[in-house]
C-alpha cells in the first residue's frame, strides 16, 4: 500500500510502464477510405463492378465511354456517400466518448491533492471519492463508507454499501469497480487495476464483432441473383436477335470472314450493353441517399445512427427486448403518495400540505433533514436515489427557508435499514426506514387531522403489501422524543408511509401500443420482483386481461435453448433478469428466424447489443454499450425506438418504390434494345441521350424517392420477414405490366407506318427519333407518380415530399429544353406543339393503364402495397 501522500511523479511513470494506461483501447475505427473500400462488398455493387470491367474491355475497341463512366460514377458515389455518412455518425459517437474521457479525478500525489483526467490514473494511485462521481478504475476502499450503484456492470439495480476491508481485491465489501457510480458517502481508494485490466475493460474486450448479415444484405443478395439472371437472359436474347438479323435476314453467312467477325462482335457488344442497362446501377446510390437523408432527420428525433443498415433493420424488427428502468420508466424515483396509519391515501406533497398540514410538517422535516442529500441553488445534490426523491418532493416548498438545528445524525446503512436525525429545537427524532423493521417498534400512528391513534398493524401491513404489488417502494416515517443510538427504541409513532415510484414515461403507453400494432413483440426485462414487474407491465400496456406471459429467471435458467425458443411467443415479462439472460434470449429469437432488437446501457449489455440484429444503446449508458449498438437513443425513450422503426419501414418502402420505377424503365430500355434492330433502328437512343436517361434513373429519381414521408399507416402493417425478397408479387406485377406496356408503346411508335409518315421518317428520321426520345422520358416521369404510391390517388401525401414534384417537374422542363435546343449533341430537333402534346398524351397513358391494373387487383382482393 502506498503512503498517505500518494505516488511520486517517478512512481507514476514506473506504474504506467509496468501496468499500462487507464485509457481503454477503442475498437479500431475505420477511416473514410477504408469504409469506401468496404462498400464494394455490397451485392449490387459487385454486379456493377463486373459490368464495369466488361464495359472497360469494350471501351478499348471504341465502345461508347459514357456507360463506363456512368457506372464508375454510380459505384464511387454510392460507396463514398455511404462511407461519409457512417463516418459522420462515428465522429458524433467519438465526440460522446471523448467527453466521457475528459472526466476529472482527484488523486493524492506528492503529498498534494491533484485533479487529473481519468485516463491518467495509474495502479497505486490514491483516489478521493464523493457522492455523484463515477469510479475511474478498479480499487479497494481504504477510508470512508460509500453507497455504490454497480448496475452497469452487474445488472443489480440496488445500491451496495462499500466499507474498508483487508485491502485485498478479493474482498468484495471493499472492492470498487470502474464504471460504478457513487450515490452517497465519501471515501478514498487505492487503485489496483487500470484500463483493459479492469472488470469494465475486460467486458469491453469480450464484445464480439461477428454478427449475422442484416436483412437488407440478404434481400440485396437475392435481388442481385434476379438481376443477373434477367440481364443474362436479355443479353442472350438480344445477341440472338442481332445475329439472326445479320446472318439470317441480311445474308451474313455469305459475307467475308472479317465481316462475319464484325457481326459477332456487334452482337456481343449489344449483349454487354443490355446487361449494363439491365443492372439497376442507381440502386446503391439511392439506398445510400435515402439512408443518409434519414440519418439527419433521425438525429432531430434523438436517434443517432451508428451503422446505416441499422435503420432499415429497425423497420424489419419482429421482437424487441427492452429494459424497464430508464426506457419504459423515467429512471428517477419520485414520492408518489403518502399513506396514513388509518388507511387514508394522499397523492402528492401538495395534497398532503392542503389536507393534513400537521402531518405535512413532519413529513417535510424528514425529507429535508433526515437525508444525505442537500439543496444547492435550485437543485438537489448528493445522497442516494431515495434521498434525492424525498428532498425533490419538498424542494419548491422548503427552498429559501431557514434551516433547523440537527444532531445525532445516523446515515442510512443497508445493514441497519434505517436513517435517523435529531431536531434540536423540537426535541424530536425523525426516523425513516424499511417498514418491516420500523413497524414492530411503532405503538401509535398520526392521523391526517394531527391526532394520534393506536396502531392497527394488520391494516397497515395490508396497505403496504397492496402498494408494493403495484410497483411501489415503501418507506416508513416515524417520530419519537427519545434519542436513537445503536438500536431503535420502542414506542415510536408512525408518521406516514411514503410510496416511491419510478414513473412510466408519459410516451411509454403510446409507444408500446404503436409497436404492438406494428406487429413487434415487446418483452420487458427487469431485475425487479414478479409483483413489481407485473405492476409496471400492466401500466405500460404489455399484458393482456389475463396477465399471462410473466416469468421469473428461475423458471427459464434450466430450460434448454429449444425450450426457451418455444417459450418466446408467450413471454412478455422476465423478472429477476440477469445480463447473461439477454444473450440467451437474443439467440433463441434468432433461432426462430426473428429479426431481434435489444436495448441496453451497461457494459454487461454489450454482448447482447452486438449479437442482436439491431442494438439500441441508451444515450445515458456506457461507452462500451454505445460502441456495441447500431443505434444510440439519445433520450433513452421507447418512443424514439418506435420512431426509428417507422423510419426503417419508410426507407424500405422508398427503396421498393424506386426499384419499381427503375426496373420498369430498365425493362423498357432492354425491350427497345431488343426490338430496335428488328425494325431497322440500330440506335434508338444515342450516347448523350442515354447519359441523360441514366441521370434521371440513377441520381435524380433516387433523390426524389428519398424524401418520401414516414406515414403512420406503415406502423399498422406486420413486419417483413428477415428473408422476404425486395421484390414482392405486387412489384413484379407492376414492373411486368408497365414495362411490357411501355416496350409495346415505344416499339409501335417507332414501327407503325402512320406514325412514321406523320413524323416524316422517310425524309427526316431525326424527327421521329426525337419524338421517341421525348416519349421515353415522359413515360418515365409519369410512371414515377405510379411508382410512389399504391393508391389510385397519385397525389396522396405528395405535399410532404415537395422534392419529388420539384425534381420531376425539372426533368420534364429540361427534356423540353433538350428537344428544342439539344441539336446535334442530343440528336434532337424541335417538335411542333401539337406533336409534343400527342407524345405527352401517349406517355400519360401509363397512368390509366396502371389504374386498370390496380382496380383489377382490388376487384380480385389481391394486396396492393409495396
Active site residues: 323
Cell numbers placing 455: 396502531
Give all strands (DSSP E) within 167-314, no chain letters. 175-176, 181-193, 303-305
Could you count the other beta carbons within 10 Å of the beta carbon of residue 515? Answer: 23
Beta strand 631-633 with 303-305: parallel, antiparallel or unpaired?
Answer: antiparallel
Q: Give CA torsion, residues 294, 299, 303, 309, to 10 deg.
A: 30
3-state SS assignment for residue 781: helix
CA 619/CA 637 separation, integer angstroms: 10
Residue pair 588/568 in contact by the 8 Å Cβ criterion: yes
Q: Give CA torsion, residues 667, 670, 672, 675, to 10 deg.
A: -120
Could you count the other beta carbons within 10 Å of the beta carbon of residue 66? Answer: 16
CA 545/CA 309 separation, integer angstroms: 38
Burial class (CB in 10 A: 0-12, 13-18, 19+), 231: buried
Q: Could you write out the DSSP letters of every residue in 570-582?
A: G--EEET--HHHH
Q: Which residues of 471-494 are buried (b: 16+ CB within 10 A; e: fewer)?
A: bbbbbbbbbbeeebeeebeeebbb
Picking from 374, 344, 577, 339, the residue whose alpha carbon sits closest to that of residue 472 is: 339
Cell numbers placing 110: 506528492
Q: Which residues of 635-648 are buried (b: 16+ CB within 10 A; e: fewer)?
A: ebbbbbbbbbbbbb
Phi-psi region of 423 (alpha: psi -120 to 50; beta: other; left: phi over 0): beta
3-state SS assignment for residue 813: helix
Q: How many angstroms separate the first and last alpha carbons of the chain?
A: 69
3-state SS assignment for residue 305: strand
CA 159/CA 703 separation, integer angstroms: 52
CA 568/CA 592 separation, integer angstroms: 9
CA 806/CA 3 separation, integer angstroms: 74
Picking from 502, 503, 442, 439, the residue whose alpha carbon sits closest to that of residue 465 is: 439
Amino acid at each position: 500500500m502506498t503512503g498517505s501522500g500518494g505516488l511520486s511523479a517517478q512512481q507514476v511513470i514506473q506504474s504506467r510502464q509496468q501496468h499500462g494506461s487507464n485509457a481503454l483501447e477503442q475498437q479500431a475505427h475505420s477511416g473514410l477510405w477504408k469504409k469506401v473500400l468496404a462498400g464494394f462488398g455490397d451485392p449490387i455493387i459487385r454486379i456493377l463492378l463486373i459490368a464495369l470491367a466488361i464495359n472497360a474491355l469494350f471501351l478499348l475497341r471504341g465502345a461508347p465511354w459514357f456507360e463506363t463512366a456512368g457506372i464508375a460514377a454510380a459505384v464511387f458515389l454510392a460507396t463514398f456517400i455511404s462511407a461519409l455518412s457512417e463516418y459522420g455518425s462515428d465522429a458524433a459517437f467519438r465526440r460522446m466518448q471523448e467527453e466521457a474521457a475528459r472526466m476529472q479525478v482527484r488523486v493524492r500525489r506528492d503529498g498534494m491533492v491533484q485533479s487529473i483526467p481519468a485516463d491518467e490514473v495509474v495502479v497505486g494511485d490514491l483516489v478521493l471519492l464523493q457522492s455523484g462521481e463515477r469510479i475511474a478504475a478498479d480499487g479497494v476502499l481504504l477510508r470512508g463508507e460509500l453507497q455504490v450503484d454497480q448496475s452497469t456492470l452487474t445488472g443489480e439495480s440496488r445500491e451496495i454499501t462499500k466499507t474498508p476491508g483487508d485491502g485485498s481485491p478479493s474482498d468484495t465489501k471493499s472492492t470498487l469497480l470502474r464504471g460504478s457510480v457513487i450515490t452517497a458517502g465519501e471515501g478514498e481508494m487505492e487503485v489496483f487495476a487500470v484500463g483493459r485490466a479492469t472488470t469494465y475493460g475486460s467486458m469491453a474486450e469480450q464484445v464480439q464483432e461477428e454478427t449475422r448479415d442484416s436483412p437488407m444484405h440478404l434481400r440485396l443478395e437475392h435481388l442481385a441473383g434476379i438481376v443477373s439472371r434477367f440481364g443474362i437472359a436479355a443479353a442472350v436474347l438480344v445477341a440472338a436477335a442481332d445475329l439472326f438479323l445479320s446472318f439470317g435476314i441480311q445474308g451474313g453467312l455469305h459475307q467475308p470472314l472479317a465481316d462475319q467477325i464484325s457481326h459477332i462482335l456487334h452482337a456481343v457488344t449489344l449483349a454487354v450493353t443490355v446487361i449494363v442497362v439491365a443492372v439497376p446501377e442507381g440502386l446503391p446510390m439511392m439506398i445510400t441517399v435515402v439512408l443518409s437523408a434519414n440519418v439527419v432527420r433521425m438525429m432531430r428525433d434523438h436517434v443517432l445512427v451508428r451503422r446505416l443498415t441499422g435503420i432499415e433493420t429497425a423497420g424489419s424488427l419482429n421482437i424487441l427486448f427492452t429494459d424497464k428502468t430508464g426506457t419504459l420508466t423515467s429512471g428517477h424515483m419520485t414520492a408518489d403518495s403518502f399513506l396514513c396509519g388509518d388507511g387514508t391515501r394522499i397523492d402528492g406533497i401538495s395534497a398532503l400540505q392542503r389536507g393534513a398540514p400537521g402531518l405535512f410538517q413532519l413529513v417535510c422535516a424528514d425529507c429535508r433533514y433526515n437525508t444525505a442529500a442537500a439543496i444547492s441553488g435550485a437543485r438537489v445534490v448528493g445522497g442516494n436515489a431515495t434521498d434525492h426523491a424525498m428532498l425533490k418532493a419538498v424542494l419548491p416548498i422548503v427552498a429559501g427557508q431557514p434551516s433547523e438545528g440537527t444532531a445525532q445524525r445516523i446515515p442510512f446503512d443497508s445493514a441497519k435499514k434505517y436513517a435517523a436525525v435529531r431536531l434540536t429545537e423540537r426535541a424530536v427524532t425523525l426516523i425513516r426506514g424499511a417498514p418491516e423493521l420500523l413497524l414492530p417498534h411503532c405503538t401509535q400512528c398520526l392521523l391526517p387531522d394531527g391526532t394520534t391513534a393506536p396502531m392497527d398493524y394488520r391494516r397497515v401491513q395490508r396497505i403496504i403489501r397492496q402498494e408494493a404489488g403495484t410497483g411501489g417502494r415503501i418507506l416508513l416515517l416515524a417520530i419519537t422524543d427519545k434519542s436513537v443510538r445503536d438500536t431503535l427504541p420502542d414506542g415510536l409513532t408512525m408518521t406516514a408511509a411514503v410510496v416511491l415510484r419510478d414513473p412510466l414515461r408519459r410516451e411509454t403507453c403510446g409507444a408500446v401500443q404503436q409497436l404492438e400494432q406494428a406487429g413487434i413483440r415487446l418483452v420487458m426485462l427487469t431485475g425487479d420482483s414478479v409483483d413489481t414487474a407485473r405492476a409496471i407491465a400492466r401500466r405500460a400496456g404489455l399484458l393482456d386481461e389475463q396477465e399471462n406471459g410473466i416469468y421469473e429467471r428461475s423458471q427459464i435458467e434450466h430450460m434448454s435453448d429449444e425450450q426457451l425458443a418455444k417459450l418466446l411467443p408467450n413471454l412478455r415479462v422476465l423478472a429477476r433478469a440477469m445480463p447473461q439472460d439477454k444473450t440467451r434470449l437474443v439467440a433463441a429469437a434468432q433461432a426462430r428466424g426473428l429479426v431481434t432488437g435489444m436495448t441496453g446501457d451497461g457494459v454487461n449489455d454489450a454482448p447482447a447489443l452486438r449479437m442482436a440484429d439491431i442494438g439500441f444503446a441508451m444515450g445515458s449508458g456506457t461507452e462500451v454499450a454505445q460502441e456495441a449498438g447500431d443505434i444510440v437513443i439519445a433520450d433513452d425513450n421507447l418512443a424514439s425506438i418506435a420512431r426509428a422503426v417507422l423510419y426503417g419501414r419508410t426507407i424500405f418502402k422508398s427503396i421498393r418504390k424506386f426499384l419499381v420505377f427503375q426496373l420498369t424503365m430498365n425493362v423498357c430500355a432492354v425491350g427497345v434494345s431488343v426490338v430496335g434492330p428488328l425494325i431497322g433502328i440500330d440506335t434508338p437512343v444515342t450516347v448523350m441521350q442515354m447519359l441523360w436517361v441514366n441521370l434521371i434513373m440513377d441520381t435524380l429519381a433516387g433523390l426524389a424517392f428519398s424524401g418520401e414521408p414516414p406515414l403512420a399507416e406503415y406502423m399498422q402493417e406486420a413486419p417483413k420477414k428477415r428473408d422476404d425478397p425486395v421484390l414482392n408479387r405486387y412489384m413484379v406485377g407492376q414492373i411486368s405490366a408497365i414495362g411490357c406496356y411501355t416496350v409495346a408503346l415505344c416499339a409501335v411508335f417507332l414501327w407503325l407506318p402512320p406514325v412514321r409518315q406523320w413524323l416524316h421518317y422517310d425524309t427526316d428520321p431525326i424527327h421521329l427519333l426525337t419524338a421517341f426520345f421525348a416519349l421515353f422520358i415522359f413515360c418515365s416521369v409519369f410512371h414515377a407518380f405510379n411508382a410512389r404510391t399504391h393508391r389510385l390517388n397519385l397525389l396522396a401525401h405528395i405535399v410532404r415530399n415537395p422534392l419529388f414534384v420539384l425534381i420531376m417537374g425539372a426533368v420534364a422542363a429540361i427534356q423540353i429544353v433538350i428537344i428544342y435546343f439539344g441539336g446535334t449533341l442530343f440528336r434532337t430537333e424541335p417538335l411542333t406543339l401539337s406533336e409534343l402534346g400527342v407524345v405527352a398524351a401517349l406517355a400519360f397513358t401509363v397512368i390509366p393503364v396502371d389504374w386498370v391494373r390496380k382496380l383489377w387487383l382490388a376487384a380480385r382482393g389481391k394486396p396492393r402495397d409495396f
